[in-house]
Amino acid sequence: MLTATKGGKINISEEKDTKSVAEKFSKLIKKGDFIIFSGNLGVGKTTFIKYIINCLQKANRQKISEVTSPTFTVTNEYKIKKTLIKHYDLYRIKNKKELTNLGIQENLKDQITLVEWPEILKKIKIKNSTNLIFEYKKNYTERYLSIISKNKKLLNEFK
């Protein structure tokens, strides 16, 4: 069983660990959740999101889809039963106007929102978001995940 380290960080250096944590995380999210993924390029944000979406698809007996980074399209959408998941990659978004045009704050209660490269979100307020912070350690050979959330049930699952 994976647990947080003394510093509250979860070791996800092995892909099997990334998958295990993402699968556990997927069971704790619901409509209305706004989840922010921060971290360097290549640290595992999109892979984590892929496992979340694929786990939800599997749990709902849906076809497993290919989950890719929406770096160029900015948004990918997945429908799982009656739940819409919007996966944003804000890497190329440069200002608040572009962000507003995406409609990222619309219909938040009716969907699950997953956001990579959230730095521009500091210009708008998102209530009740969960932050997943991915980071490298030891010359990029180890990866760790920290979870910051007001959702105590979610945090307790990863202690």
Q: How confident is the model at residue 79 (pLDDT cuts 50, 70, 90)?
A: very high
CATH topology of domain 28-134: Rossmann fold (3.40.50)
pLDDT in tens, 50-72: 999 999 999 999 999 999 989 88
Picking from 58, 67, 59, the residue whose alpha carbon sits closest to that of residue 85 is 67
Range 89-100 average pLDDT: 88
Q: In whole angstroms, what is the distance from residue 126 CA to residue 104 CA?
A: 10
User: Does the predicted TM-score (pTM) go above 0.85?
Assistant: yes
pLDDT in tens, 103-131: 888 888 889 999 999 988 876 677 778 99
